Amino acid sequence: MKKKSQCQMLAEYFKQDGKLTILEALQHFNCFSLSQRVTELKKKPWSMKIKSTMITTASGKRTARYSL
């Protein structure tokens, strides 16, 4: 069985949950470059409509939350 790519796993996650932050991508998928994977997903033939929103975490840090 062929192992799924990060893009495939992220696409499935977006379809189920609909939103993901950089920290969640690191925790769930060991993905250190979510913005690059999102760009790849946007360029796929089936082109996922992913948008980013800036949020403030509980610790006061600002980060992007990607969603469908």
pLDDT at 1 over 70: no
**pLDDT (0 to 100) of residue 67:** 92
pLDDT for 33 equals: 93
pLDDT digits (tens, 9 = 90+) for 13-28: 999 978 999 999 999 9
What is the distance between the alpha carbons of residues 43 and 61, in angstroms, rounded to a whole number?
Answer: 29
52-62 pLDDT, tens digit per residue, is 999 998 999 99
**Contacting residues for 42 by C-beta, under 8 A, at least 6 apart:** 48, 50
**Paired residues of 67 in beta bridges:** 19, 51
